[in-house]
């Protein structure tokens, strides 16, 4: 059985080391090494090889050979599904190890990391089902002598670039679906959180994935940029910031790659007076502070009706103050450490600027003062009241445990506020009245809407953004189709009367 390198989460004293995984081999890099310190403790936990353009080139060449030798792209969907089911089983077997790797490197609570890994196994199983069902269409409506076949085919070599906030989960929103379609893959995980991607690559190898079908190049944005501009990559699926997404669009122009971009968000939670206010307060706090607020679907803007604002904000403040900030591996922790010290400073800077602009801190607002947390980048979960659309805190993604609160009087005003940002990834609405909630949901300009719930939905539903939150969809049938191409085959039988109207010799 595969041994995963888990030191030091299991108490070891040496950092983990990850090489690149290319063509079925772990390729030691002689170049630069990137060190990762756990954000909760400052201890060195892993070292990864810094991939270069040459490393990316080798990985893409391996993926191209694997695509063309047909051991994966041309086998039956049942064979691909069998491998993916074995991977899902292995992810479940190693779930606790994978969760601890992500909790340690991200600083996220272990309970969240466990849910991520369970989601990764579920997505892999879902992808197995898609492998079996991959199908095109037939067209017989163009006369008796024409039959049209629309073939759905694997798109080719796929590059996957993933961020640090949900390492195992976001990898699994992309990788198994690309493999289910018959594509071959080069993954570039975030330099900050490479361990679970390396571990998952070992599990795919153990499950029998042919060499070269999955390759992992570790490293920083330079390796990501090399993948984005590589002329032999057919599809690039990226999750990360909108700023990097824009760079990827430019870099991919050379060979006009097919792009799928899951970018930032600035979701609103809209609370109407007729909502179940207890449930809504619980949802607002979960949506704002889940995964330390380092979440593209963080419901980071509360919009509350003026009639209930005071009472509702008191409930939100009380629940926020009760959140336990603590070590990621502690089972009782609700909010862990932010990804690194520089990010913590950026989040504190955003809070300070909001205060200078006239917002009030209802709770939190500073780094955690407990001596047990002194070695890490911990912030007290923060609620800012009186935030107006003119303030940067209303429209800029803060990506930390910071919730802003604004008030509205009418449904029209609430909709304008919710839609009044450049992002459009997700939003939520709380009302017991379907005649309020449903038209409001339909008016929201975002790829996901949660009604009387937050951050919810199975992998069968597509996920992605309107506006600057992205291009394309992940998960669901739509997410699967990002990794496929359609080929229209026209077949004509019979006498072909009069179809070819040029080049006909004159009648003698």
Shortest Cβ 85–ligand NDP spacing (Å):
26
Binders of ligand NDP among residues 415 to 434 (CB under 6 A) are: 425
Alpha helices for 401-490 (secondary structure H): 411-419, 434-443, 476-481
Shortest Cβ 66–ligand NDP spacing (Å):
23
If one asks whether residue 225 binds ligand NDP (CB under 6 A), the answer comes out as: yes
Query: Binding string to ligand NDP for residues 88 to 127, with x set by CB under 6 A, is what?
Result: ----------------------------------------
d(C-alpha 108, C-alpha 40), whole Å: 9
Interacting residues of 29 by C-beta distance below 8 A, sequence separation 6+:
19, 20, 49, 50, 51, 55
If one asks whether residue 290 binds ligand NDP (CB under 6 A), the answer comes out as: no
Q: Taking CB positions, which residue lies at the least distance from ligand NDP?
A: 224
If one asks whether residue 167 binds ligand NDP (CB under 6 A), the answer comes out as: no
Distance of CA 454 to CAs 32, 253, 324, Å?
42, 36, 20
CB atoms within 10 A of CB 196: 31
Residue with tokens 């030691």: 28
Shortest Cβ 46–ligand NDP spacing (Å):
13
Pairing of strands 137-139, 146-154: antiparallel
Do residues 288 and 162 lie in contact, with contact meaning Cβ atoms separated by under 8 Å? no
What sign has the CA pseudo-torsion 225, 229, 234, 236?
A: positive
d(C-alpha 265, C-alpha 290), whole Å: 14
Q: Which of the residues 105, 229, 294, 296 is marked catalytic?
A: 296
Shortest Cβ 478–ligand NDP spacing (Å):
14
Of 190 and 320, the one with the shorter C-beta distance to ligand NDP is 190
> Of 9-17, 36-44, 189-197, 307-315, which segment contacts ligand NDP by CB under 6 A?
189-197
Q: Which of the residues 105, 229, 262, 474 is marked catalytic?
A: 262
Which residues are bridge partners to 310 per DSSP? none
Of 251 and 284, the one with the shorter C-beta distance to ligand NDP is 251
Binders of ligand NDP among residues 369 to 408 (CB under 6 A) are: 397, 399
Shortest Cβ 296–ligand NDP spacing (Å):
3
Do residues 100 and 4 lie in contact, with contact meaning Cβ atoms separated by under 8 Å? no
Structure tokens at 374: 């002194």
If one asks whether residue 239 binds ligand NDP (CB under 6 A), the answer comes out as: yes
d(C-alpha 21, C-alpha 376), whole Å: 31
Of 209 and 228, the one with the shorter C-beta distance to ligand NDP is 228
Name which of 317, 325, 286 is nearest 428 in CA terms: 286
CB atoms within 10 A of CB 53: 13
d(C-alpha 239, C-alpha 261), whole Å: 6
Name which of 171, 217, 192, 184 is nearest 56 in CA terms: 217
Contact with ligand NDP (CB under 6 A): which of 188, 258, 305, 407? 188
Shortest Cβ 219–ligand NDP spacing (Å):
7
If one asks whether residue 195 binds ligand NDP (CB under 6 A), the answer comes out as: no
Q: Is 356 a catalytic residue?
A: no
Q: Is 296 a catalytic residue?
A: yes
Contact with ligand NDP (CB under 6 A): which of 103, 161, 308, 444? 161
Residues marked as catalytic: 262, 296
Residues forming the site for ligand NDP (CB under 6 A): 161-165, 170, 188, 190-192, 220-221, 224-225, 228, 239-241, 244, 247-248, 262-265, 296, 397, 399, 425, 465, 470
């Amino acid at each position: 059985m595969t041994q995963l390198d888990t030191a030091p989460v299991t108490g070891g004293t040496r950092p983990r080391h990850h090489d690149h995984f290319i063509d079925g081999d772990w390729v030691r890099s002689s170049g630069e090494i990137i060190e990762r310190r756990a954000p909760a403790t400052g201890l060195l936990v892993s070292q990864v090889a810094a991939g270069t353009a040459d490393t990316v080139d080798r990985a893409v060449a391996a993926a191209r050979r694997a695509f063309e030798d047909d051991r994966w792209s041309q086998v039956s969907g049942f064979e691909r599904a069998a491998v993916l089911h074995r991977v899902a089983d292995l992810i479940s077997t190693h779930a606790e190890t994978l969760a601890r790797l992500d909790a340690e490197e991200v600083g996220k609570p272990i309970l969240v990391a466990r849910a991520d890994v369970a989601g990764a196994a579920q997505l892999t199983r879902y992808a197995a089902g898609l492998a079996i069902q991959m199908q095109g269409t037939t067209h017989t409506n163009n006369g008796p002598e024409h039959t049209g076949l629309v073939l759905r085919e694997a798109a080719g070599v796929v590059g996957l670039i993933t961020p640090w906030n949900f390492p195992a989960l976001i990898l699994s929103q992309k990788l198994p679906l690309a493999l289910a379609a018959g594509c071959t893959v080069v993954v570039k995980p975030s330099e900050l959180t490479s361990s679970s991607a390396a571990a998952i690559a070992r599990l795919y190898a153990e499950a029998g994935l042919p060499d070269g079908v999955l390759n992992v190049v570790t490293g920083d944005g330079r390796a990501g940029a090399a993948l984005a501009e590589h002329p032999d990559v057919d599809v690039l699926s990226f999750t990360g910031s909108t700023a990097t997404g824009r760079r990827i669009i430019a870099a991919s122009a050379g060979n006009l790659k097919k792009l799928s971009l899951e970018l930032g968000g600035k979701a609103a939670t809209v609370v109407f007076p007729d909502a179940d206010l207890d449930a809504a307060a619980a949802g607002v706090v979960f949506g704002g502070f889940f995964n330390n607020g380092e979440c593209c679907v963080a419901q980071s803007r509360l919009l509350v009706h003026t009639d209930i604002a005071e009472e509702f904000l008191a409930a939100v403040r009380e629940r926020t103050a009760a959140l336990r900030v603590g070590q990621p591996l502690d089972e009782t922790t609700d909010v862990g450490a932010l990804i690194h010290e520089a990010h913590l400073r950026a989040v504190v800077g955003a809070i300070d600027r909001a205060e200078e602009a006239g917002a009030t801190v209802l709770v939190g607002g500073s780094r955690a003062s407990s001596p047990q947390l002194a070695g890490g980048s911990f912030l007290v979960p923060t609620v800012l009241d009186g935030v107006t659309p003119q303030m940067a805190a209303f429209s800029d993604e803060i990506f930390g445990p910071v919730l802003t609160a604004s008030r509205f009087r009418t449904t029209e005003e609430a909709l304008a506020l919710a839609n009044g940002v450049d992002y459009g990834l997700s939003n939520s609405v709380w009302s017991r009245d379907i005649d309020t909630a449903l038209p409001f949901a339909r008016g929201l300009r975002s790829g996901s809407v949660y009604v009387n719930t937050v951050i919810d939905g199975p992998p069968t539903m597509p996920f992605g953004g309107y506006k600057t939150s992205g291009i394309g969809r992940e998960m669901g049938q739509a997410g699967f189709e990002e990794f496929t191409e359609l080929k229209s085959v026209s077949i004509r039988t019979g006498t072909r009367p009069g179809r070819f109207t040029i080049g006909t010799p004159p009648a003698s």
